[in-house]
Amino acid sequence: MAIEITDANYKELMADTSKPVVIDFWATWCGPCRMVGPVIEELAAEYEGKVVIGKCNVDENEDLTMEFGIRNIPTILFFKNGQLVDKQVGSAPKPVFVQKIEALL
């Protein structure tokens, strides 16, 4: 299951892991977010132990949303060694996410 990433736990999460991190920025009212959500959950299960996959609600976490300049949702950010290395804006089929995650490993 994808973990909840918040303004409060983001820095600690990034400091405590050497694994790649994927963050889905979403909102409950966003139609495309509801399409991507189940894919993110599947990926969290498939890559458990290898990649940290989480979700950040933009309505509840304005600091992170502003820090990363999130203007459209869903936006999925991909981090390696604590650095932002890739992103996907808008929904996409699962193989797109798999390819981006595999590039982190």
- Catalytic residue selected from 2, 22, 30, 52: 30
Rg of the chain (C-alpha set):
12
Specify the 3-state DSSP secondary structure of 81.
coil
Catalytic residue among 33, 39, 44, 58: 33
Say how far apart CA 20 and CA 34 lie, in whole Å.
Answer: 24
Q: Is 33 annotated in the active site?
A: yes
Which residues belong to the active site?
A: 30, 33
